[in-house]
């Protein structure tokens, strides 16, 4: 399991870095082209929007892996540890259900259709053959991040759930910024 997780982790980080670099380079060159040469690339906005959507959907699974999502658990932390753990595992289950709903909406049920994304939104875009507005890329290829991102999100949620069950992780959220700030500034508050 750890080898698969490490492999997925490397791929996620590489794709996230590529997407962020692409967005930065396209936006920078677009600014230079517009303000220096009074020109520009019509499809630049569409490309950065697509990269941003892919960045968000890859990033949500990576954020779950590193515990980077915000967590509001002040109330459930008041419960005894076993009850707190149950609530956290309920959160994991909600993440998996959320990812499953989005996966189903984007792909349909591959067990019924026999095709990976035949009956869902991505499959319909493939059948219709619509291109994107300015880039003229196949829309189904651009929207394929929905099932990919949700499958990764479910994988990371299950991975976090297993780490919680085995005691290697306490929660889905990594830290509590407010508590950390109070601890760091205790002397200031006492003076």
3-state secondary structure at position 153: helix
Asked whether residue 101 is assigned to any structural domain, the reply reads yes
Overall number of domains in the chain? 1
Q: What is the DSSP string of 102-135?
A: HHHHHH--HHHHSSTTSSSHHHHHHHHTPBPSSS
pTM of the model: 0.84
**pLDDT tens sequence across 46-85:** 999 999 999 999 999 999 988 888 777 878 888 999 999 9
Q: What's the pLDDT at 134?
A: 94
Q: What's the pLDDT at 189?
A: 61
Asked whether residue 164 is assigned to any structural domain, the reply reads yes
Tell me the pLDDT of the chain averaged across its residues. Answer: 88
Asked whether residue 74 is assigned to any structural domain, the reply reads yes
**Residues 57/148, Cβ–Cβ less than 8 Å:** yes
**pLDDT tens sequence across 115-147:** 767 778 888 898 899 999 999 999 999 999 999
Domain of residue 6 covers 2-174
Report d(CA 30, CA 26) in Å as an integer.
6
Report d(CA 111, CA 105) in Å as an integer.
14
Asked whether residue 190 is assigned to any structural domain, the reply reads no
Asked whether residue 186 is assigned to any structural domain, the reply reads no
**pLDDT tens sequence across 4-40:** 888 988 999 999 999 999 999 999 999 999 999 999 9
Q: What's the pLDDT at 74?
A: 78
Asked whether residue 179 is assigned to any structural domain, the reply reads no
């Amino acid at each position: 399991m750890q080898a698969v997780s490490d492999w997925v982790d490397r791929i996620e980080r590489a794709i996230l870095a590529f997407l962020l670099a692409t967005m930065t380079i396209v936006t920078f060159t677009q600014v230079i082209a517009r303000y220096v040469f009074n020109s520009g690339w019509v499809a630049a906005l569409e490309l950065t929007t697509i990269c941003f959507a892919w960045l968000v959907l890859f990033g949500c699974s990576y954020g779950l892996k590193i515990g980077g999502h915000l967590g509001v658990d002040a109330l459930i932390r008041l419960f005894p540890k076993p009850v707190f753990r149950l609530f956290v595992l309920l959160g994991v289950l909600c993440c998996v259900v959320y990812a499953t709903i989005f996966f189903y909406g984007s792909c349909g049920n591959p067990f019924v259709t026999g095709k990976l994304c035949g009956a869902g939104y991505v499959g319909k875009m493939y059948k219709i053959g619509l291109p994107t507005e300015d880039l003229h890329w196949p829309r189904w290829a651009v929207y394929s991040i929905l099932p990919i991102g949700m499958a990764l999100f479910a994988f990371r949620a299950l991975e976090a759930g297993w780490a919680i069950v085995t005691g290697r992780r306490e929660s889905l959220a990594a830290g509590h910024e407010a508590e950390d700030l109070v601890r760091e500034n205790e002397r200031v508050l006492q003076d």
